[in-house]
Structure 1
């Protein structure tokens, strides 16, 4: 499922997102069947199936589809958030603190993605396993940090629910935020669930 479907049911999809569907449904006061009905059901396929399967092409996909896209979209969204906060600061549901949260996300992601590009991914392309456990553990830890930053963004944007009569800038901001959030969750899932386990021992993966 994509994060936007969970957002409509007020279910947190970032931190502790590995709980079973039945538990997430119970927390929302729904049965699993009701949750699937509300969210449109589980799609055939998903972000993992849209990505190449072999390691080299998968890394190329992560770089072009996610790394470059995150950088480009954050460069657009940060000044837009600053504008909306400045113009609509007196509105009851103004996204106060959103620009600051996006800057924190940009800075964290830039360090994270640079480490992948310069250290982790080259080791993976070489088929290296002996020197890779620590970098992978660090990337998993940073993914958890990113999830917490996404929570801050969701909170600052009031769940990305637009107020009645929202201007074009506000609408564009939340539209872009939803896409960025969905992309980031898919990006981290592909790395955590597909790419990283290829280079981890069972014990290392279980302890991550």
Structure 2
């Protein structure tokens, strides 16, 4: 369960709670470079009432996961089709688009230099992670679990933390997905696509960490 108090760390909330990143972006709160600040510190720095932020974040927490199936096998199928497949398809076109934007606008002060490399690293990490789930973990879950299932689950949780770090790197090189004035269509399409990808990844991780995995950790 995500800690939603004034003492909670901004970076942790952005990584754990679906939709929180967009709330922070909208309010000018950094969760990559400034991600180690508490929510109260971040609110004070930006002149926002911390209770207003908490209200928005608690509403997101209440809504998280509502569109996902409750039963285990349909939930796994949902994760595979809604997230695994989508991540692969989107990274396939986001990476060459990032290359184009970096090449064309590399001399712009707000150019997302390093974004292509960050996305390639993210793609490679995700492919390895999702393949392990598809080939090892999810088949075990479909069969009702296994006495040793807590070990691959622990590995997946650790890899989720690595993914969160990679998302912070994307956030950093894109200046919080903030488009400069007069941004071209390609740059706009790139950041719109990245916003969806990053939000989907947080939701994907949230579903596994807080809904799917605990069912098997408790059982074992």
Question: What range describes the TM-score normalised by the shorter chain of this pair?
Answer: 0.7 to 0.9
Q: CA deviation at 1:40?
A: 8.7
Give the Cα separation in 1 of the matches to 2:94 and 2:204: 19
Name 1:34's counterpart in structure 2: 52
Partner of 1:139: 156
Write out per-residue CA displacement over residues 144-202 of structure 1, whole angstroms, 9 at most, x where no aligned residue.
00000001100111110000000000000000000000000000000000000001149
Cα RMSD over matched residues? 2.5
Q: 1:178 aligns with which of 159, 173, 195?
A: 195
Q: Give TM-score, length-normalised by structure 1.
A: 0.87
Q: Deviations over 1:121-152 (max 9, x none)?
A: 00001111302011000000000000000011
Structure 1 distance, partners of 2:198, 2:63, is 16
| Structure 2 residue 38 is matched with structure 1 residue 7 | no
Question: What residue number does 2:88 align with?
Answer: 71
**Alpha-carbon offset, residue 4 of structure 1:** 1.0
The alignment status of 1:193 with 2:218, answered yes or no, reads no
Is the Cα contact below 8 Å between 1:25 and 1:35 reproduced in 2? Answer: no
Distance (whole Å) between structure 2 residues aligned to residue 90 and residue 11 of structure 1: 24
Indicate whether 1:107 and 2:124 are aligned: yes
Cα separation, 2, equivalents of 1:121 and 1:40 = 30
What is the 5 A alignment of 1:152-167? 152-167=169-184
SS in structure 2 opposite 1:52? coil
Q: Which residue number corresponds to residue 14 of structure 2?
A: none
Q: How far, CA to CA, are the matches of 2:30 and 2:215 in structure 1?
A: 30
Normalized against structure 2, the TM-score is what?
A: 0.82
Shift of 1:5: 1.4
The answer to whether the 8 Å contact 1:129/1:200 transfers is no
Stretches of structure 2 lacking an aligned partner (at least 5 in a row): 1-17
The answer to whether structure 1 residue 53 and structure 2 residue 70 are counterparts is yes
Please give the secondary structure, in 2, of the residue aligned with 1:91: coil
8 Å contact kept, 2:30–2:176: no
1:8, distance to aligned residue in structure 2 (A) = 2.0
Greater displacement, 127-136 / 64-73:
127-136
> Any runs of at least 4 consecutive aligned residues in structure 1 with deviations exceeding 4 A, and if so which?
none
Is the 1:11–1:24 Cα contact (8 Å) retained in structure 2?
A: no
